[in-house]
Amino acid sequence: MVVVDADVHETMMWDVSRWLIASGCLYALAWGKDCDQWREAIDDAAQEAVNYEEVPEAQRVFVTAHEDEELEEVFWFARHRAIHPAHELNTTLILHIADAPRREELEAAYHDA
């Protein structure tokens, strides 16, 4: 999950997106500032990683943007509805991009979802 509370330079967005894909991300949910641009960047990074060729289902990366939803709803979706057809999603990373940390608050909200 990419939770964006700060403005991000496009270059950083692309670097982070490539890092997520290289790290094995299979399902990314973007929420917050410019979440649709984040969705596009992560999706493009996933396509770039396979040289823009047809992707086998096991390697497919699902990316969603949640522009008009409350963060708690996105956390609930991540915990209860996000699925991958070829892999069990059992690890969640909350990548919070912000000027001030909110780790405890975000982790509590995720676990309460």
- Rg over alpha carbons for the chain, rounded to the nearest Å, is 14
Q: Strand locations in 2-103, DSSP E?
A: 2-4, 27-32, 62-65, 95-97
Give the confidence band of 56 by pLDDT, cuts at 50, 70, 90: confident
pLDDT at 23: 96
Question: pLDDT per residue over 68-80, tens digit each?
Answer: 999 999 999 999 9
pLDDT tens sequence across 94-109: 999 999 999 999 999 9
Residue 3: burial class (beta carbons within 10 Å; 0-12, 13-18, 19+) = buried
Count of domains observed in the chain: 1
Q: What is the pLDDT of residues 11-48, one digit of tens each?
A: 999 999 999 999 999 999 999 999 999 999 999 999 99
**84 is in which domain, residue-wise?**
2-112
User: In the structure, what pLDDT confidence band is assigned to residue 83 with cuts at 50, 70 and 90?
Assistant: very high
CA distance 34 to 36: 5
DSSP 80-97: HT---SSS-------EEE
